[in-house]
Amino acid sequence: MKNYMKILKGKVEDYQRFAYVLLAVSGFLYFGAVIPAIEKTAMVQVLLMTGTIVFIAAATVCLFYAKHCKRILNRLEEDENI
């Protein structure tokens, strides 16, 4: 049981880090889409905004999964304390 709890703690930390990194990358993509450039075409603009949305969605999924793992971990800790 302790090993499973240790694995869950690692997953929570990892998925939170993944979410922060994905949000940072989406911020850079958004800045690339917003900052005007001479060579930027409409297709590049669409790709940058689509990438931004995809990375934000992936970060949201990672945060929800981390929250799910944290709930399971809390339940296991409560059961262990009883």
- Give the phi and the psi of residue 40 in degrees, each rounded to 5: -75, 125
Rounded to two decimals, what is the model's pTM? 0.87
8-60: pLDDT as tens digits = 999 999 999 999 999 999 999 999 888 887 788 889 999 999 999 999 999 99
- Split at pLDDT 50, 70, 90, the class of 75 is very high
Residue 82, pLDDT score = 73
**In Å, how far are 5, 14, 40, 41, 45 from 64, measured between CA atoms?**
18, 13, 35, 35, 29
- Given a cut of 90, is residue 66 above it in pLDDT? yes
- Given a cut of 90, is residue 79 above it in pLDDT? no
Overall domain count for the chain? 1
- Retrieve residue 5's tokens: 């709890």
Domain extent for 19: 2-81
